[in-house]
Structure 1
């Protein structure tokens, strides 16, 4: 099979059959390349392809083999086009090829379609994440992508936590935070905290991003409400804990998502502490409290996954103290698509 025998179909109104085909490719690709990472379920894939995303829109392509080989799905490419000011120069790629159909030009064909779409949409940077030392990394390196960020992925197994150690961390954290209180919610932030939460979200703009042309994000009350609705619409559960200062300022927060269809594994989203409140151990306090919240309210969750830039030494230290351990590494690559 060569690339001239591969069919490439842009997906506009994604059907259930399209989503099922996409899932088959992603599941085969991830099972081969990332055996330690459960692939998303069919419901997650369908939601990803059909539900609106926050401050972005998506393009998608499905590659199929020739009719004499069954004409089934062999590759997929998804392109997220960011639309908010400060990030509207950026596009993010997800690309998978079924391992049984690799080295036949499918990935290159999909990438060509993606790059053409980026240029048509006036994007200058295309980013993609791939497992370290994987076929995906080799694919990027061969096609003039530049490595811009190294990520360490960590796993916390809740059933293996040392109870005495967790109680000691929690007790110490509580004792060291006069002037702050913890509050939490599920889903959308309470109305009286929305503005303060948006201000705290803007603290993520100084997180380490290496050489990534990531841009900046601006959060306001409406945007944090929209973000929570996007998570709910795709069937996931968003949990948030925040540290609030006596003056009403939200000093920091941490977010966990419980993905639909993957009830055992929680996904860490943002953890951030506002610059004026750093140096007081709030990050450890918040993350420890979230572990207690999960264990008390969601006993079916047995592990939490997160990732940190390898040069984010502070958050890595916090996670290691809690008991997170590295289990894989990924690399962010970036392609300058403004060059013809």
Structure 2
């Protein structure tokens, strides 16, 4: 079997053009690879929901490469970086091969391609997040000492052979919905008692102008305050303009994002927020996005308050979804405690890998 590696043109719309067809096939390959690793279709997304995030961005440049077999895109290689700040030293790569086309050298060829792009762009380091299937036998642990992956896993052996080191294990968790409303109400009362002096705010999709500066600061703090294990995470600076640019891109998506944020009443500033990305099909799960509480305001049960408030908001605005999925570092015991108290249970694990150039 022969294949070719080529850079794919990102279409503006899914209009049936060759570029649109290639993009849709690359998403099919992504979804099949995700389902093969996790054993569930809960992390699959239609191309209509993924395309907006691939539209041109001055802040987060992206390039997409595909492997073509008999005219069909059967695998994809993703390259992402930042255009400004310290984070511009890092490239985030992802290679996903449709399970029907593995063991043919396609993954190696795509990895060579995107790593060459990172090298040509003079990146200092590469970060890769790769899921691992459960398997018996020896385990590989990250330097954090939290979590482990099957040492004999194909992706583990592949990345080690290419010079990557495992720096963190990330847990994927699922919350079955609906959650007992009495349990949520009870836990929210406890959280609110600890969170005196703080106030919860909600909005959908577009943030109020008054919170833009605070949200940009909090998004920046995601790159420095969130547990990063052994990864050398550099500050990824957000501005109000970048926040609005991200919102504009999502306006073209059929998904909607629900926000819960916490205001420190005395200062009048937001000090925490969380987000839920909700698909239009109520038969599909919602996706838990960023959750950040500033270090200076931890210890007041704000993480629990945020999580519960947004679950209640989801139930009120878009009832009927079967679950919420989320990913957290295995060493982030505080957030895992919050998730477990609400009812999240693990369903998959992935490794955060790093390679120095």
Deviations 1:279-323 (A, max 9, x none): 111111111111111111110322111111111111111111111
Task: Using structure 1 for the length normalisation, give the TM-score.
Answer: 0.89
Unaligned runs of 5+ in 1: none
Tell me, yes or no, if the aligned pair for 1:154 and 1:327 is still in contact at 8 Å.
yes
Tell me, yes or no, if the aligned pair for 2:53 and 2:250 is still in contact at 8 Å.
no
- Does residue 9 of the first structure (1) align with residue 3 of the second (2)? no
Which residue among 184, 187, 194 is the counterpart of 1:166?
Answer: 184
Q: Which residue of 1 aligns with 2:117?
A: 117
Aligned in 2, Cα 1:76/1:262: closer, same or farther, shift over 3 Å? farther
Q: Write the mapping of 1:83-122 to structure 2, written as runs, cut at 5 A.
A: 83-122=83-122
TM-superposed CA distance for 1:214, in Å, is: 2.2
Tell me, yes or no, if the aligned pair for 2:198 and 2:265 is still in contact at 8 Å.
yes
Tell me, yes or no, if the aligned pair for 1:56 and 1:80 is still in contact at 8 Å.
yes
Q: Which residue of 2 aligns with 1:178?
A: 196
1-side partners of 2:159 and 2:41: how far apart? 21
Tell me, yes or no, if the aligned pair for 2:76 and 2:97 is still in contact at 8 Å.
yes
Deviations 1:1-47 (A, max 9, x none): 3xxx3211111354112112213322332232222243221323443
Tell me, yes or no, if the aligned pair for 2:276 and 2:288 is still in contact at 8 Å.
yes
- Does residue 296 of the first structure (1) align with residue 312 of the second (2)? no
2-side partners of 1:199 and 1:72: how far apart? 43
Aligned in 2, Cα 1:263/1:212: closer, same or farther, shift over 3 Å? farther
2-side partners of 1:306 and 1:45: how far apart? 18
Tell me, yes or no, if the aligned pair for 1:179 and 1:246 is still in contact at 8 Å.
yes
Q: Which residue of 2 aligns with 1:310?
A: 330
Q: Which residue of 1 aligns with 2:37?
A: 33
Deviations 1:208-234 (A, max 9, x none): 101112211223322222222233233
- Does residue 206 of the first structure (1) align with residue 225 of the second (2)? yes
Aligned in 2, Cα 1:13/1:171: closer, same or farther, shift over 3 Å? closer
Aligned in 2, Cα 1:262/1:101: closer, same or farther, shift over 3 Å? farther
Which residue among 186, 191, 197 is the counterpart of 2:209?
Answer: 191
Deviations 1:97-130 (A, max 9, x none): 2222222211111111112111111112121111
Tell me, yes or no, if the aligned pair for 2:52 and 2:250 is still in contact at 8 Å.
no
Which residue among 149, 155, 159 is the counterpart of 1:136?
Answer: 155
Partner of 2:331: helix, strand, or coil?
coil
Deviations 1:123-159 (A, max 9, x none): 1212111113443333212322111111011111122
- Higher alpha-carbon deviation: 263-272 or 107-116: 263-272
Q: Which residue of 2 aligns with 1:55?
A: 59
1-side partners of 2:74 and 2:212: how far apart? 44
Tell me, yes or no, if the aligned pair for 2:225 and 2:295 is still in contact at 8 Å.
no
Aligned in 2, Cα 1:321/1:17: closer, same or farther, shift over 3 Å? same
Task: Using structure 2 for the length normalisation, give the TM-score.
Answer: 0.85
Tell me, yes or no, if the aligned pair for 2:60 and 2:83 is still in contact at 8 Å.
yes
TM-superposed CA distance for 1:82, in Å, is: 1.9
Unaligned runs of 5+ in 2: 12-18, 133-149
How many residue pairs end up in the alignment? 328
